[in-house]
């Protein structure tokens, strides 16, 4: 374990491309966090209200807070050696803050908003203080100012009683956090980006989200009725997870490391790819929520609000996957656009159908996209990335 200022400061391209054991441990905290956010969103869908926006928006903010915290930490570990003591301290502090945030997620926007915001702000401020003390890892006065402003917005937002104002303040705090990630990542004291490592980390988080979807589906069946419709729902959920894995890793996902390292501007490409992964991860997360809905109530009364998860999840995933393909190959396959169109057309078609039927229709669209990919790839050599950036 190196001391601050040790020899292996920069994460060099020649080594440490894969995630370290510390980073894998860090990810395990977010398994718990995603589960907590998922349970909260499932509860939001079960409110029975015709309009879901008021219930889902706070949950979305909590989800994005975890994403910004994870991504800002990954930005650091993709530029600096995991052996550096300062880097390890930063990761441990982020882990501790994420655990506290995850624990209070069920009331993280209501009664325990101050605890959630305090933990988030504490991670950001403690990281800032460490960088200030050691004057390492890209600290600048402007960075300190923006981090402090973001933390104040989170704390003030937690203290106000009006939840609408709280949502506005927290949204501004998140925007500042993400802006600082993009700006700081592009000028990180000249340290080269370990593109293969960053791609590996983004794909690991995507797989964690798929695992969370499987966990939600299995738990829904084990805690409820084991009848045929419910078991069919679990089978359908498993097929959907396999398809989400297949569509993601087909071609573009498989060559993502090369698309980052081979880009003309790897830093811009890294920021862009991180944004598209947020869309895909959010889509898979929504799809996982839909598994719970149609496993528990497979033949229940049609709930149009549930289509936000059942059809919206795959649609959000395909939108992000289309952008990823554009970033990697500078084109978008027609199958992705056709899948998005099909999901849009399914909204009126499934409006009055039971949840299991809507879930089956969404899985059929994903199967069509995966089948089109396989058909188009027959007898063709793997395509090399050709990023525009």
Could you tell me the mean pLDDT of each successive run of 10 residues in the chain, 389 residues long?
41 58 90 93 71 74 94 82 84 95 95 95 88 62 78 94 92 86 57 72 93 93 86 96 95 85 83 92 95 92 87 96 93 93 95 94 96 86 80
Q: Distances in Å between the alpha carbon of 268 and those of 91, 196, 208?
A: 24, 15, 25
Please choose, from the candidates 80, 111, 115, the residue with its C-alpha nearest in 3D space to the C-alpha of residue 98. 115
Q: pTM to 2 decimals?
A: 0.89
Please choose, from the candidates 5, 11, 9, 2, the residue with its C-alpha nearest in 3D space to the C-alpha of residue 201. 11
C-alpha angle 385/386/388, rounded to 5°? Answer: 135
Quote the pLDDT of residue 236.
96
Place of tokens 């058909």: 375
Spatial distance between the Cα atoms of 321 and 326, rounded to a whole number of angstroms = 9
Quote the pLDDT of residue 305.
86
Q: Distances in Å between the alpha carbon of 160 and those of 102, 157, 172?
A: 21, 6, 15
Spatial distance between the Cα atoms of 43 and 58, rounded to a whole number of angstroms = 12
Q: How far is CA 319 from the centre of its chain?
A: 14
Sorted by sequence, the CB contacts under 8 Å of residue 58 that are 6+ apart come out as 108, 109, 110, 163, 167
Q: Which residues pair with 84 in a beta bridge?
A: 2
Are 292 and 309 in contact, with CB atoms under 8 Å apart?
no
Are 166 and 158 in contact, with CB atoms under 8 Å apart?
yes
Query: Quick one: which H or E segment has residue 247?
Result: helix 228-248
Quote the pLDDT of residue 382.
77
């Amino acid at each position: 374990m190196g001391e601050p200022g040790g020899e292996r400061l920069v994460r060099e391209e020649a080594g440490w491309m894969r995630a370290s054991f510390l980073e894998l441990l860090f990810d395990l905290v977010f398994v718990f966090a995603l589960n907590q956010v998922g349970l909260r969103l499932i509860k939001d869908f079960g409110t029975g209200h015709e309009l879901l926006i008021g219930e889902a928006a706070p949950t979305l903010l909590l989800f994005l807070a975890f994403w910004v915290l994870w991504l800002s930490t990954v930005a650091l570990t993709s530029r600096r050696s995991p052996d550096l003591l300062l880097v390890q301290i930063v990761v441990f502090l982020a882990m501790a803050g994420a655990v506290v945030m995850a624990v209070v997620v069920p009331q993280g926007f209501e009664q325990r908003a101050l605890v959630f915001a305090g933990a988030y702000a504490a991670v950001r401020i403690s990281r800032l203080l460490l960088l200030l003390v050691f004057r390492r890892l890209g600290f600048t006065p402007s960075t300190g100012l923006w981090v402090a402003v973001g933390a104040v917005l989170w704390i003030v937002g937690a203290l106000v009683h009006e939840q609408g104002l709280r949502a506005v303040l927290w949204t501004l705090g998140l925007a500042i956090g993400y802006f600082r990630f993009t700006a700081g990542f592009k000028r990180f004291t000249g340290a080269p980006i370990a593109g293969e490592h960053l791609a590996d980390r983004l794909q690991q988080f995507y797989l964690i989200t798929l695992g969370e979807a499987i966990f939600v589906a299995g738990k829904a069946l084990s805690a409820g009725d084991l009848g045929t419709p419910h078991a069919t729902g679990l089978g359908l959920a498993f097929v959907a997870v396999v398809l989400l894995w297949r569509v993601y890793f087909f071609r573009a996902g498989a060559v993502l490391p090369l698309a980052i390292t081979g880009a003309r501007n790897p830093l811009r490409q890294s920021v862009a790819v991180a944004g598209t992964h947020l869309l895909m991860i959010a889509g898979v997360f929504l799809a996982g929520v839909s598994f719970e809905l149609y496993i528990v109530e497979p033949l229940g009364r049609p709930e149009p609000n549930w289509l936000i998860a059942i059809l919206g999840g795959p649609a959000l995933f395909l939108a992000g996957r289309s952008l990823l393909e554009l970033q990697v190959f500078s084109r978008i396959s027609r199958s992705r656009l056709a899948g998005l169109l099909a999901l849009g057309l399914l909204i009126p078609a499934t409006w009055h159908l039971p949840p299991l039927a809507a879930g089956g229709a969404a899985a059929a669209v994903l199967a069509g996209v995966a089948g089109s990919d396989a058909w188009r790839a027959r007898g063709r050599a793997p395509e090399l990335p050709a990023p525009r950036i």
